[in-house]
Amino acid sequence: MGEKKGGRQKKTLAKVLHYIRRYWLYLGISTVLAAVSVALTLYLPILTGRAIDCILGKGAVDFGRIIEILREMAVVIALTAASQWVMNICNNRITYRVVCDIRKEAFEKLERLPFQYIDGHPYGEIVSRMIADVDQFADGLLMGFTQFFTGIVTIFGTLIFMLTISFKITAAVVFITPISLFVASYIAKKTFSMFKLQSETRGEQTSFIEEMIGGKKVVTAFAHEEEAIEQFDEINERLGECSLRATFFGSTTNPATRFVNSLVYVTVGVVGAFTAITGAISVGQLSSLLSYANQYTKPFNEISGVITELQNALACAARVFELIEQEPEVPDAKDAVVLQQADGTVALSHVSFSYTKEQRLIEDFNLAVKKGQRVAIVGPTGCGKTTLINLLMRFYDVDSGEISVSGFAIRSLTRKSLRSNYGMVLQETWLRSGTVRENIAMGKPDASLEEVVAAAKASYAHSFIKRLPNGYDTVIAEDGGNFSQGQKQLLCIARVMLCLPPMLILDEATSSIDTRTEIKIQQAFAAMMKGRTSFIVAHRLSTIQEADIILVMKDGSIIEQGNHRELLERGGFYANLYQSQFAHES
């Protein structure tokens, strides 16, 4: 199990290094400057020791030499500060460019992921990976660059400088060092899995918070606040526990290494004092050795802290890479056809599909739609109406069988060209942050203001738009928060009115609109659907009486097919559904 975790950690580190490799120039400059900075820092104790040796006794002080040494020290300190400043700039550039690359790649992958992945993961959990986890990764990576390299160079540089003074004392220091390395390594292995669990639980919490904020009205309406608080407390408690464990084990690294480092300092002090008594080294050199002992042990404390942060960073990076490495949706075939202008014919032949293997949904589905026909799809909830729309748009691929448009199997068409031939209005509205005009023109960004206004008038949205503070330049809040549900629906309808593609999909398109406006919208739809193949999903059967074909679905199969009059005359499932609804509406 430990080897498995270690293997995952190594793979994650290799992926991080792959991103860092792109900025090898900054990395090279940073490494060189780290070495220069450490060398100059380690040169200071030598200068300090020389200055001490210039003080021979009372009245026997070489002030001239001490002033020269002080000048030299001032130059060394200035060069050290400049080196560290430039090194930090390079480290910041590497860190935030790597983070930028990872976020960009993650978002690009998000745009190419199959709908099955998006549907199967909470939105907040995906957001947590792209925002919180990447931020945590950035913090750990930045600390790694600023302290890890410098610490390593400091350790080796200190040993070299100590060797120039006393081999015996340096050997004693090297003998104790492995204890510190063993302690840090042992704790690092323990903390990685804990930080990974912490990151996963944080993602779960982010997902829950986003879910509760998004459904605040529903939560309040059904007095679900106490249950929501209890559920949040449970997640928060788990996050607190795993965070405490991760932080506790991570924080033990520093005191453990400090204890070992104190042994190093004591060893240098004791061995150095006896060596100085014998005259093998001077008092100034002993002072330098003690200073080096401090500088030698300090990086171990820093590196132990860096290792803890890197464990957290790598755990977060692993979650981000899991997203980036998800299998994208099957790409378009190399010889895929670009469908310029569909003729409106659609055929489904022996189509079978299910979201999960355990539960079958659509089986052996057959349908032939001629150009300009209006096809209404009705049936009880869960019978496969919206699923059929998902298949037509190729949001999901069929398990077996074939769907064709204009004589082309949709698998042989590019997704973009297929979807651009459909205009889609869903029951769930979606508006992005931007102006009213930008939202209407989403499918046709180069549309003129006159075209946008004409589309808004056709969808009966113009009247409320012109009453807005800035008309078509009014900025829409996130997901249309400053608009009513009906207004958002009208804007979505206007979006389709502007493009007027050869085929239309209306999935409960007027569900959030008042009856008076709905009559006008139905008139607009009638004009828009003229000569265009249209698929209409509806619960209110009174809205689809003029359809050319009504498909009655149940349990993923078409159980009845015909126009409104024919289906009523048969007295079957549709007739019962219509009569029960009519009686209810009456």
pLDDT value at residue 342: 85
**pLDDT for residue 586:** 43
What is d(CA 523, CA 528) in angstroms, rounded to the nearest whole number? Answer: 9
- Whether pTM > 0.75 for this model: the answer is no
Q: What integer is the mean pLDDT of 7-21?
A: 78
Instruction: Tell me: do 294 and 437 sit in the same domain.
Output: no
For residue 567, the model assigns a pLDDT of 86
pLDDT at 582: 60
Q: Residue 464 pLDDT > 60, yes or no?
A: yes
pLDDT, tens digit, 9 for 90 and up, residues 409-436: 888 888 888 888 888 887 777 888 888 8
Co-location of 317 and 452 in the same domain: no
**300 vs 440 pLDDT, higher one:** 440
Please tell me the distance from the alpha carbon of residue 456 to that of residue 461, in angstroms, as a whole number: 5
Overall size of the chain counted in residues:
586
Neighbours of 394 (CB within 10 A): 20
Least confidently predicted of 80-94, 299-313, 408-422, 539-553: 299-313
- Provide the CATH number for the domain around residue 469: 3.40.50.300
**Domain limit, last residue, from 450, 474, 500:** 500
Residues 6+ apart with CB under 8 A from 38: 150, 153, 154, 157
Q: What is the pLDDT of residue 189?
A: 67
Beta-bridge mates of residue 549: 375
- The residue range of the domain holding 434 is 429-500
Same domain, 147 and 284: yes
Q: Does residue 341 form part of some domain?
A: no
pLDDT at 480: 66
pLDDT of 575 strictly over 80: yes
Is residue 318 domain-shared with residue 465, that is, in the same domain? no
- Asked if the structure places residue 520 within a domain, the reply is no
- Joined together, the tokens standing for residue 446 give 């180069």
Average pLDDT of 367-374? 87
In a domain, 183, yes or no: yes
- CB-based contacts of 77, cutoff 8 Å, min separation 6: 44
Structure tokens, 404: 């064709």
Contact 547, 374 (CB under 8 A): yes
Whether 316 and 435 map to the same domain: the answer is: no
Task: List pLDDT tens digits, range 284-336.
Answer: 777 777 777 777 767 766 666 676 677 777 778 888 888 888 887 778 888 88
Same domain, 320 and 438: no
- Three-state SS sequence of 219-255: HHHCCCHHHHHHHHHHHHHHHHHHHHHHHHHHHCHHH
Residue 315, domain CATH: 1.20.1560.10
Which range is least confidently modeled, 265-279, 290-304, 570-584? 290-304
Distance CA 340, CA 464 (A): 35
Are 164 and 303 part of one and the same domain? yes
- Kindly state the average pLDDT of the residues 335-356: 86
State yes or no: pLDDT of 113 exceeds 70.
yes
Residue 164 lies in a domain: yes
Which residues does residue 64 pair with via DSSP β-bridges, in sequence order? Answer: none
Q: Bigger pLDDT: 352 or 63?
A: 352
**How does residue 404 score in pLDDT terms, banded at 50, 70 and 90?**
very high
Tokens of 73: 């020290």
Cα–Cα distance measured from residue 14 to residue 236, given in angstroms and rounded to the nearest whole number: 33
Q: Is residue 167 situated within a structural domain?
A: yes
Last residue of a domain, one of 470, 485, 500: 500
pLDDT at 55: 72
Confidence of residue 82 (pLDDT cuts 50, 70, 90): very high
- Give the pLDDT score at 1: 46
Whether the predicted pLDDT of 38 surpasses 70: yes
Residue 480 belongs to some domain of the structure: yes
- Taking the CA atoms of residue 90, residue 93, residue 96 and residue 100 in that order, the dihedral angle to the nearest 10 degrees is -140
User: Which of 270, 301, 324 lies at the terminal end of a domain, its last residue?
Assistant: 324
| Percent of the chain clearing pLDDT 90 (strictly above) | 2
**pLDDT at 202 (0 to 100):** 83
371 occurs within a structural domain: no
Is residue 434 domain-shared with residue 297, that is, in the same domain?
no
Is residue 310 domain-shared with residue 435, that is, in the same domain?
A: no
* Share of residues in the chain with pLDDT > 70 (%): 88
Mean model confidence pLDDT for the chain = 80
| pLDDT value, residue 543 | 66
Q: At what angle do helices 515-529 and 449-458 cross, to 10 degrees?
A: 120
Where is mean pLDDT largest: 223-232, 348-357, 405-414?
A: 405-414
Q: Are residues 316 and 436 in the same domain?
A: no
**Secondary structure (3-state) at 475:** strand
Indicate whether 128 belongs to any domain.
yes
Percent of the chain as helix, strand, coil, to the nearest 5: 70, 10, 20
Q: How confident is the model at residue 388, as a pLDDT? A: 84
Number of domains present in the structure of the chain = 2
Say if CB 198 and CB 239 are below 8 A apart: yes
Q: What is the pLDDT of residue 224?
A: 79
pLDDT, residue 3, reads: 47
For 458-474, what is the mean pLDDT?
87
